[in-house]
Amino acid sequence: MNILAIDIGNTNIKFGLFLEGEAQPVKSVGVNDDENIRSTLHSLWEQVPAAPRSKEKLRDAVIVVCSVNPPATERFRTAVSEEIKEKILEIGLDKDVPLPIKLGVEYPADVGVDRVLAAAAAYLVVEQPVIVADFGTAITIDAVDDDGTFMGGIIAPGIAVSAKSLAENTAKLPEIVVNKPVMTLGGNTRDAINNGIYFAAVGLLETTCRKFAEEMEVWPQTIVTGDGAETIKEDCKFVDNWVPSLVIKGIVLAYMKYIQERPVS
């Protein structure tokens, strides 16, 4: 089975191509870079083999989408239709493909599909309580209980968002790119900002994991993903696993579960 898994976020669109179950390198494109989105779509789709019995040599794959950005999703839907004459399947409540785990939250329709899929991907592997932190545009830290129910969690500004917000809302503080500090004490303004944002992220993750464990009365495994995770990972020794592109893996798992469980017509 061949799947083109698409994770549409607020900043980037990630493309994950799986050919006969083998993952190809994930590609990331700015969410508003329409030209690059279309060219990436083309280049990946050309790698998909033709369906064996297709006289028109149609490609033998499905395009499955997880999105937290409805306008970008509609632009992507149009690009798929115009560029490769295909349709997309979207994951979510009342969408083409259902969510792969139960939701134990107050307002299920408000939960970002990416949060659920990352949590589902982690739980379906470890099959026990798990905490999943995603360091992207936002930092989300969520928990799945022993029964495989998504319990919700916390949402905080991402590392880059924090740096941008600080610069935009002060008169003299510069916008920086946050990196691992050389020393905790910042000897100048740029280092002070860098270290403050960096250790705030590390502390947020550690404190949240501890508080979740206290409330769940069990110490879950902690799995971290997202582009920003690479920045802080060396100071998070309490994390069990760092998994790149966990949402992409969740998209594939959700689709596989869907086709295995749907009624045979």
Q: Which residues are catalytic?
A: 114
Q: Is 142 annotated as a binding residue?
A: no
Tokens of 262: 């749907």
Q: Is 114 annotated as a binding residue?
A: yes
Q: Is 13 annotated as a binding residue?
A: yes
Q: What is the DSSP pairing of strand 89-90 with strand 62-67?
A: parallel
Q: Is 94 annotated as a binding residue?
A: no
Q: Is 131 annotated as a binding residue?
A: no
Collapsed DSSP state (helix, strand, coil) of residue 259 = helix
Question: E strands, 128-173, where?
Answer: 130-135, 138-144, 149-157
Q: Is 189 annotated as a binding residue?
A: yes
Q: Is 134 annotated as a binding residue?
A: yes
Q: Which helix (H) or strand (E) holds 95?
A: none
Picking from 82, 6, 68, the residue whose alpha carbon sits closest to that of residue 38 is: 82
Q: Is 231 annotated as a binding residue?
A: no
Cα separations in angstroms, 181 against 34, 186, 210, 235: 35, 8, 24, 10
Tokens of 79: 């690009």
**Known binding residues for ATP:** 7-14, 137
**Known binding residues for substrate:** 112-115, 189
**Known binding residues for K(+):** 134
**Known binding residues:** 7-14, 112-115, 134, 137, 189
